[in-house]
Structure 1
């Protein structure tokens, strides 16, 4: 299936999985950076973050081994046409779902933009499988076609996002139910694959009933005129950005959206980066 066919499929059902897109050595090089950090990383503070889920943010600051997950040309060829032909990285995190974790609350990733649904997606997410994603270990769960739902349409009979953020201790049955008004699809995929989905598609991280952890790497992209979730100008040192390829600098916001959005004191932002 070519890029245009994938784009049309995403527009229709809200998501697409490309299997085995990155070689194992690329996955392993990133894991050699991330796995030692996870050994001492805390778990989440509420049900949404996950009481048995570890997270690392602003991943590009950790070095070149992480950059291929954000600037993959095959992925960007799909995402940019879905976002007015240009995009920025809006979030850059890894989530390690540990055994015993419960499913997340269903949510959409771009719900904080205050424009009523139905509407186009203002962001597109990608999830790279750093382990095999299975039904047992917490593969992402999706509601196909739910990006077309109206403002008042939500998954019924499951944990709400407001409840998830205010719940600071796990409940015995949190999240295991399926919505009463929708069928869910589990994004099972082998290590090295990527799930691409619209930011207004209802989805959640699945619960982990296996004996092992499940690591996913999550680059999220937004239209270049939208505000990003993470403030990379503060979380990633300029000295690090200056060592990156131009594509990565552009995706982090060191670029001009014509005619002049994003300038730095009247100059192209890449010109004010430190010299390396």
Structure 2
């Protein structure tokens, strides 16, 4: 499995996208779609040119289907994502879970790079990785995701010719993985049926996520998550001391009792902890 992960990660770095075929059994995807069906039916169409006015979108998927946890915590997918992101952070975080339904007659979406939601420097690091899980088979005719191969290597080019886009043929159970620096967009749906998919994205652990996870999954919800999932949605500090509550890891909010008064506790990288300890030792000698 390690070789397969490395192979997919290499393709992702080279092309900006890759397909992890049969990452899960199609039956799991069918169960998730059945769980989400009432939400699809009740969600109004989007407003605005970017989201698409013939498109439905809704988030907070971890509370709408138990199967979403298996997608979000897929071990091989997480390994691929971490190969892309861990050079620039200590831990990754959940950026978004969103279900998307592109209705017949929908126009193609504006080509864009998801990393552009953050105004930091581009080209030297990756900010996020998207994982698209199709609920229905994707093809160009029904609005499958358009991708521009290699566009992550030319981030100063905002738009590329439409004819250069590719639409990977993916089916329920497959995972379409692409970088936040890859130019992409939902396709126009010229078929007679909706095109449905789920996007789960992961970002650098020190970024503010697209979907505000702590409000979407407040402590009374997140305390029922597995510890690893709770950490992924934000109930974990990113060293040094980032994302704390009263100077402690926010996972303390998931316990049955939260003390009213808490001591702040260092959460430093090893190099920072050593530097701080050396300084204290020097001061003790000077003032001893």
TM-score normalised by L of structure 2: 0.83
Mapped partners of 2:209, 2:155: distance in 1: 24
Match of 2:102 in 1: 97
Question: Which secondary structure state, in structure 2, belongs to the residue aligned with residue 2 of structure 1?
Answer: helix
Instruction: Give the stretch that moved more between structures: 206-215 or 250-259.
Output: 250-259
C-alpha displacement of 1:275: 3.0
Match of 1:198 in 2: 179
CA contact (8 A) 2:219 2:253 kept: no
CA contact (8 A) 1:143 1:202 kept: yes
Match of 1:175 in 2: none
C-alpha displacement of 1:19: 1.4
Match of 2:34 in 1: 32
CA deviation digits over 1:21-76, x for unaligned, max 9?
A: 11122112211221111112111101211111111112112242321121111100
Unaligned runs of 5+ in 2: 258-288
User: Which of the pair has more CA radius of gyration?
Assistant: 2
Q: Is 1:137 equivalent to 2:137 in the alignment? A: no
Moved over 6 A (4+): none
C-alpha displacement of 1:88: 0.4
RCO comparison, higher one (Cα < 8 Å, 6+) = 1
Relative to structure 1, the CA distance from residue 117 to residue 267 in structure 2 (aligned partners, 3 Å threshold; closer, same or farther) is closer
Q: Is 1:209 equivalent to 2:190 in the alignment? A: yes
Instruction: Give the stretch that moved more between structures: 138-147 or 18-27.
Output: 18-27
Instruction: Give the stretch that moved more between structures: 250-259 or 113-122.
Output: 113-122
CA contact (8 A) 1:87 1:222 kept: yes
Mapped partners of 1:263, 1:213: distance in 2: 42
State the superposition RMSD in angstroms: 1.7
Match of 2:227 in 1: 246
Mapped partners of 1:110, 1:49: distance in 2: 16
TM-score normalised by L of structure 1: 0.86
Match of 1:2 in 2: 4
Mapped partners of 2:155, 2:184: distance in 1: 16
Match of 1:154 in 2: 158
Mapped partners of 1:205, 1:247: distance in 2: 31
Match of 1:258 in 2: 239
Q: Which one has the bigger helix percentage?
A: 2
CA contact (8 A) 1:239 1:274 kept: no
